[in-house]
Amino acid sequence: MTVHASLRHDSALKHVTGQAIYIDDMPEPPGTLHAALVLSPIASGRLRRIDLSKAAAAPGVVATFTAADIPGHNNIAGPGKDEPLFAHDRVEFIGQAVALVVAGTLDQARAAAELAQLDIEPGEEILDIETALARKAYVQAPSTILRGDPDAAMKSAPHRLSAAFSVGGQEHFYLEGQIAFALPGEDGDLVVHSSTQHPTEVQHVCAEILGCAFNRVTIVVRRLGGGFGGKESNASAIAGAAALAAARTGRPVKLRLPREIDMIATGKRHGFQYRYEVGFDGEGRVLALDAVLAADAGWSLDMTPGVIARALTHVDNAYWLPHVRAVGYACRTNLQSNTAFRGFGGPQGVLVMEDALDRIARHLGRDPWDIRVLNFYRDGQDETPYGQKVDENHLARCWAEVKQGGALERRRAEIDAFNRTSPILKRGLGVFPLKFGISFNLPHLNQAGALVHVYTDGSIRLNHGGTEMGQGLFIKVVQVVAEVFKVDIDRIRPSATSTAEVPNTSPTAASTGSDLNGWAAWEAANTIKQRMIAFASEHFASAADDIEFADGTVRIAKPGSNQVMSFGELARLCYQGRVSLSSTGFYKTPKVHWDGAAMRGRPFFYFSFGAAAAEVAVDTLTGENRVLRADLVQDCGASLNPSIDLGQIEGAFVQGQGWLTCEELWWDKHGRLRTVGPSTYKIPGSRDAPPIFNVKLLDNAPSREATIFRSKAVGEPPLLLATAVWTALRNAIEAVGDHKTAVRLDAPATPERVLAAIARLRN
C-alpha cells in the first residue's frame, strides 16, 4: 500500500541541499522593488502626523504609502474585524505598521524607512495581564464552560486546594520570515506569492485593500519555511502591503521582514495566567474545578476567540471533571496581537489540571501518576465539560506503553536513590497523558477542495487547498491519490497551492491538513477513476467489477482473455473516448457542531491521544537544567506516513520543550520587545533535544471515525507532550524538599525561575 508507507518528504532532498525554492529564492523580474515597513515606536498613543518627506527623498526610494493611499479598506483582519494595515489615528503597540517605503534595493528601502518621522502623543498603555484584568480591558467578553454545580461540589469536597501560576508566550521562529512578492498583471490583476497558511484570507485581504473583486487577485504558495500558526493570519498584512505597493507602482514588489522586525511586528503564542481551586476526595479523585484562565490577547482580536475556546475545551485534558467552571479572559494589552501557535490554546489549557494533580498528590502524600490514572476519562462513558463523549479512548493504552517502554518504575527508584546521595544535582521524572480534539472549533472551516488532472501519458497533477510548511502534507496527499489510482507516487506531481485552482479554502491549521485535503483529493481522484472504469467497462464490454487497478496497470478480467494495460494507456483511450480526466473533489467533516455562546457541542470529529514521560536534571546552585530522556507514545490512528509522523512528534515535542523551558519573551517597561533574535531569544538547539528520545506511534489503533484511511492528525498534539518536561522539572525541584511540598513553577522554567523556586522551597 502506498498509504501507511514511510515515504520521505517530497522535498526532503531539496530542503537539505538548498534547492527548494522559497519566495526569496525566486528570480526577480526586471524592475522589482523592495519594501520596508515603518513601525510605531510607542505602545499607545494618538498618531498626529506622519512625515515621510525625508524617507521619500532618500536614495533609490520610488514611493511611500500610508493609510491615506489605500484605495479600498484599511483592514487586514477579514470581515467583521477591524485591524488596519497601516495605523491612521492611533497606534496600539511598539511595532505596529504605520507606513511602507518602496525602493530599488532592500537596503535602500530599509535605510529610508528609518528616516520616517512620526508625531505621536503618548497615551495610557496596558502592558500586562494583571493590569488588563484590573481594568477589565478585554478584546472580547469573557467566555465560560460550565458543567454541574462547581460551587456546591467545591463546598462539600473533603479537600480543597487553590493555586496560581503563569506561562509565557512563544515566538514562532519559522526559519523563513514573513514574506510576500506581488506581481502586477493586466487590467489590475495581481499575483501574490505569499508565505501563508491561509491563501484565501490573503486573497480577500489584498482585494479589500485594493478595493477590487476577489477574482482579480491570485495567491500562490509552493511552500513555507515553517509557519507553526504564525502565518495563519499574520501573513495577510505582509501580502496586503506588497499588493498595495505593486498595484500603485505597477511594478513587482517584494516585502520580506528581517528577523528583528518580524519579531517586533507580528503576533505570538498567547501567554496565560491561571487561578484555580480544586476540590477532591481522600483518594485524589477530582470533584470540582473552578478555574480562571487569562490570556494576553495583545492589542486586537486576531484569533484570540478561537485560542480561548480551545484553551477552555482542553482544561479537562485527560480527566473526568464532574463539576467544573472554567472562565477565559481575553486581556487587551498594548503588545503584539497574539495569534495561532501550534496547539492553539490547547497547550495552555491543559496545564491547569497538571498543576492541580501534582498538588493533590503532594497534599495527600500520594503518587502523582496514580492520581492521574485515577482521574482518566472512562472510554465511551464520560463526557467532556462541553458535552462531547470521549470515544475511542486510548489513554490507558498510551500510558501503559510509556510506563513499560520507559521502564518508569525502575527509573523512578534509581532517580530517588540518585537524589538521596546527590545534594547539588537533582533529577526528576514527569509524566503527561494527552487528549487533544481534532477539527476547527468553527464548524464551517472544516471543509476542503482538491483538483486532480490525469494526462494522457498517465501522469497526474494534484492540487488542493492545503499549504506545505514542512509538515509533509503534500506527500501524504500524494500517497492518497496514488492509492486511489494504484500508481507509483512518482506519477503524481503535487503543485503549488493557488486560489485560482482551488477556491474558498480554509487555513492549513488545527492539524486538519491531511484529514481535510486527503479526503478532498480522494474524492477528486475517485471521481476520475469511476469515469475510467465506466468507460473501460463499455469499451471492453466487461463488468465494472472485473476492472482492477494495480501496480500502475489496469486489468480487465474477461473469461479466457485478460487484458492488461498501463494506467497511461487507459487514460489515452479515455481521452479518445471523450471522457473528462479532470475533477474537483470536496470534503466536509461530518458530525461537528458547536454553540460558541453556550460553549457546548461536538467541536471535534475525534480525539487523538498520547502519553509522555520525561527525565530532567537540575543544578540546584544555578537552576540550569536539561532533559535527559523522553519516552513518547502518540496516537496517529493508522498513520498515513509513519516516518513523517515520527518527525512531526519529535519536532513538536522539542518545540514544546522550548516554550516551557528556554524561550522567554521579554518586554521593557515601555512595552518594547527586547528579545528580537536568536542571541536574546533562545530556541532549543539540537543539543537540547533529549539524548535518549524514544518516540512510538500507538500500534494498531485505526481511527473508528471515517478519517482518510483511518489516519489521525499529528501536527499539533505532540507539542503538548512536552508538558512532561515541566512536570519533571517540578519533580526535580521538589526533591530538594523531599517531595513534601508542592512548588510553583511558572513557565518558561528558565534557570532563573528554577533557582527562585528552589530558593522558595528552602526558605
Distance set, CA 257 to CA 34, 43, 107, 241, 354 (Å): 11, 20, 12, 12, 38
- Beta-carbon contacts of 689 under 8 Å, excluding residues fewer than 6 positions away, are 627, 650, 654
Q: Provide the residue type at 370 as one letter.
A: D
CB atoms within 10 A of CB 128: 16
Report if residue 478 touches ligand MTE, rule: CB under 6 A.
no
Applying CB under 6 A, the span of 120-128, 403-411, 424-432, 467-475 interacting with ligand MTE comes to: 467-475
Pick 158 or 678: Cβ nearer ligand MTE? 678
What, of ligand MTE, ligand MOS, none, does residue 512 touch, CB below 5 to 8 Å by kind? ligand MTE
Report if residue 718 touches ligand MTE, rule: CB under 6 A.
no
Applying CB under 6 A, the span of 15-23, 176-184, 505-513, 588-596 interacting with ligand MTE comes to: 505-513
Pick 23 or 469: Cβ nearer ligand MTE? 469
Q: How far is the CB of 718 from ligand MOS (least distance, A)?
A: 13
Report if residue 713 touches ligand MOS, rule: CB under 6 A.
no
Report if residue 428 touches ligand MOS, rule: CB under 6 A.
no
Report if residue 235 touches ligand MTE, rule: CB under 6 A.
no
Applying CB under 6 A, the span of 88-96, 339-347, 352-360, 637-645 interacting with ligand MOS comes to: 339-347
* Closest by Cα among 324, 169, 264, 126 to 675: 264
Q: Tell me the CB-side half-sphere exposure of residue 83, using CA atoms within 13 A.
A: 27
Beta bridge partners of 289: 278, 324
Applying CB under 6 A, the span of 95-103, 164-172, 337-345, 498-506 interacting with ligand MOS comes to: 337-345
Q: How far is the CB of 593 from ligand MTE (least distance, A)?
A: 21
Q: Which of residues 207-246 bind ligand MOS (CB under 6 A)?
A: 229, 232
Report if residue 734 touches ligand MTE, rule: CB under 6 A.
no
Please identify which residue in 173, 228, 606, 659 interacts with ligand MTE, judged by CB under 6 A: 228
Q: Tell me the CB-side half-sphere exposure of residue 648, using CA atoms within 13 A.
A: 32
Report if residue 471 touches ligand MTE, rule: CB under 6 A.
yes
Chain mean position to CA 433: 20
Q: Provide the residue type at 698 as one letter.
A: L
Q: Which of residues 208-227 bind ligand MTE (CB under 6 A)?
A: 226-227
What, of ligand MOS, ligand MTE, none, does residue 648 touch, CB below 5 to 8 Å by kind? ligand MTE
Q: How far is the CB of 169 from ligand MOS (least distance, A)?
A: 13
How far is the C-alpha of 206 from the C-alpha of 473, rounded, in Å? 26
How far is the C-alpha of 293 from the C-alpha of 311, rounded, in Å? 8
Q: How far is the CB of 470 from ligand MTE (least distance, A)?
A: 3
Pick 197 or 393: Cβ nearer ligand MOS? 197
In the shown chain, the binding pattern of residues 504 to 543 toward ligand MOS, with x for contact by CB under 6 A and - for none, equals -----xx---------------------------------
- Beta-carbon contacts of 281 under 8 Å, excluding residues fewer than 6 positions away, are 157, 158, 159, 287
> How many chain residues interact with ligand MTE (CB under 6 A)?
21
Report if residue 266 touches ligand MOS, rule: CB under 6 A.
no
Task: List the catalytic residues.
Answer: 716
Applying CB under 6 A, the span of 31-39, 334-342, 426-434, 448-456 interacting with ligand MOS comes to: 334-342
Question: Which strand (E) or helix (H) includes residue 661?
Answer: helix 642-661
Report if residue 470 touches ligand MTE, rule: CB under 6 A.
yes
Q: How far is the CB of 232 from ligand MOS (least distance, A)?
A: 5
Helices (H), 250-293: 259-265
Chain mean position to CA 132: 26
Report if residue 568 touches ligand MTE, rule: CB under 6 A.
no
- Beta-carbon contacts of 738 under 8 Å, excluding residues fewer than 6 positions away, are none
Please identify which residue in 469, 617, 722, 749 interacts with ligand MTE, judged by CB under 6 A: 469
Report if residue 388 touches ligand MOS, rule: CB under 6 A.
no
For residue 293, count CB atoms less than 10 angstroms from its CB and return exposed for 0-12, middle for 13-18, buried for 19 or more. buried
Pick 475 or 617: Cβ nearer ligand MTE? 475
Report if residue 473 touches ligand MTE, rule: CB under 6 A.
yes
Query: Contact, 296 vs 271, CB < 8 A?
Result: yes
Q: How far is the CB of 462 from ligand MOS (least distance, A)?
A: 22
With the C-alpha atoms ordered 522, 527, 528, 532, is the resulting torsion angle positive or negative? positive
How far is the C-alpha of 196 from the C-alpha of 198, rounded, in Å? 5
Pick 345 or 671: Cβ nearer ligand MOS? 345
User: Residue with CB nearest ligand MOS?
Assistant: 229
Distance set, CA 5 to CA 2, 58, 72, 445, 711 (Å): 6, 57, 49, 29, 12
Report if residue 441 touches ligand MTE, rule: CB under 6 A.
no
In the shown chain, the binding pattern of residues 178 to 207 toward ligand MOS, with x for contact by CB under 6 A and - for none, equals -------------------x----------
What, of ligand MTE, ligand MOS, none, does residue 93 touch, CB below 5 to 8 Å by kind? none
Query: Contact, 162 vs 323, CB < 8 A?
Result: no
Please identify which residue in 511, 589, 620, 731 interacts with ligand MTE, judged by CB under 6 A: 511
Please identify which residue in 222, 223, 268, 342 interacts with ligand MOS, judged by CB under 6 A: 342
> What are phi and psi for residue 91, nearest 5 degrees?
-110, 145
Pick 178 or 727: Cβ nearer ligand MOS? 178
Applying CB under 6 A, the span of 136-144, 340-348, 424-432, 480-488 interacting with ligand MOS comes to: 340-348
Phi-psi region of 240 (alpha: psi -120 to 50; beta: other; left: phi over 0): alpha
How far is the C-alpha of 70 from the C-alpha of 84, rounded, in Å? 11
* Closest by Cα among 646, 660, 635, 642 to 730: 660
Cα distance between the two ends of the chain: 62
Q: How far is the CB of 476 from ligand MOS (least distance, A)?
A: 16
Report if residue 510 touches ligand MTE, rule: CB under 6 A.
yes
How far is the C-alpha of 603 from the C-alpha of 51, rounded, in Å? 49
How far is the C-alpha of 305 from the C-alpha of 294, rounded, in Å? 12
Distance set, CA 252 to CA 58, 182, 201 (Å): 20, 6, 21
* Closest by Cα among 35, 93, 92, 106 to 69: 35
Q: Which set of grid coordinates corresponds to residue 634? A: 502518540
Name the residues that contact ligand MTE, by CB under 6 A.
Answer: 226-229, 342, 469-471, 473, 508-514, 648, 651, 713, 715-716
Interacting residues with ligand MOS (CB under 6 A): 197, 229, 232, 340-342, 344, 509-510, 716
